[in-house]
């Protein structure tokens, strides 16, 4: 059985694309210190350590 899936593609205008590009470049330049991250209730976020295995 096949299900028909539909979705809408939204293409931003030139001014909107310029604003989005500016936000993306600013956020890419910022480095967030995740070691100080907390949940909304104030408990610290536990971070998983990355394994050194090559995939």
Model pLDDT, residue 54: 57
* Whole-number pLDDT of residue 16: 92
Assigned domain for 23 exists: yes
Is 19 a member of any domain? yes
User: What tokens were used for 50?
Assistant: 């990355």
Residue 43 lies inside a defined structural domain of this protein: no
Each residue of 3-51: pLDDT tens digit? 888 888 888 899 999 998 988 888 777 776 667 778 888 888 877 766 6
Read off the pTM.
Answer: 0.38
Structure tokens at 3: 């299900």
**CA 35/CA 49 separation, integer angstroms:** 12
- Provide the pLDDT for residue 38: 82
- Classify residue 27: in a domain, yes or no: yes
Question: Is residue 21, in this structure, part of any structural domain at all?
Answer: yes
Determine, yes or no, domain membership for 3: no
Inside any domain, residue 8: no
Residue corresponding to tokens 């470049």: 25
When divided into structural domains, the chain yields a total of 1
Domain for residue 48, yes or no?
no
Q: Which residues contact 39 (CB under 8 A, 6 or more apart)?
A: 45
List Cα–Cα distances, 27 to 1, 20, 38, 39, in angstroms. 44, 11, 20, 21
């Amino acid at each position: 059985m096949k299900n028909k899936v539909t979705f809408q593609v939204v293409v931003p205008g030139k001014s909107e694309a310029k604003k989005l590009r500016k936000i993306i470049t600013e956020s890419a330049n910022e480095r967030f210190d995740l070691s100080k991250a907390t949940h909304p209730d104030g408990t610290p976020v536990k971070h998983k350590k990355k394994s050194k295995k090559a995939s």
